[in-house]
Amino acid sequence: MIDKLKLALVSFGFLGCSPVAPGTVGTLGGVFVAWLLLGTGESYLWWTLGVCTVLYLVTAPLGRWAESYGSKKDPGIFVVDEVIGYLLTVAWIAPPSWTAMVVAFFVFRLFDIWKPWPASALERLPHGHGILMDDVAAGVMAFGFVMLPCRLLLDQVVWVAS
């Protein structure tokens, strides 16, 4: 019973148990959470960061268990890291558009799979922190590389047009 609850948590409602591309399927959990948060309006950024913090704090201690259960470091079943990374990619003062959410999905997945430094270095942290922090870094890099410039450009265009 306890193992099933732990599995449900680290796999984000069993999305990480997908037999095909569990990381990609897990990222869809992040899209779902971002969609749920769209109605928070001006509080979007704070809600997003709050959800990321809670998910991190709840699942980081389960890293050692997940590695034992999945029989390897950073097992595919642990996809809360993808949820957090995606949410960080779409974190902004205002809720993202559907276009931004789709672009963010692909850009985050690219950075998550590629794992450029410092994500590759953070992956070596022990247990839950290593599982989570590489995707936190990938989410921040995806945000900085694509989402931040796009949002700033869009905000400038809207400001100039008004």
Residue among 146, 28, 134, 15 nearest 81 (CA): 134
Cα separation, 64 vs 70, in Å, equals 10
pLDDT of residue 161: 43
Cα separation, 109 vs 92, in Å, equals 19
Residue among 10, 110, 122 nearest 58 (CA): 10
Cα separation, 100 vs 55, in Å, equals 23
Helix axes 127-142, 98-114, angle to 10 degrees: 130
pLDDT (tens, 9 = 90+) of the chain, 162 residues, equals 889 999 999 999 999 999 999 999 999 999 999 999 999 988 999 999 999 999 999 999 999 999 999 988 889 999 999 999 999 999 987 888 888 899 899 999 999 999 889 988 998 999 889 999 999 999 999 998 877 777 677 665 444 444
Cα separation, 162 vs 158, in Å, equals 6
pLDDT of residue 156: 55
Cα separation, 136 vs 133, in Å, equals 5
**Beta strand segments in the chain, E:** none
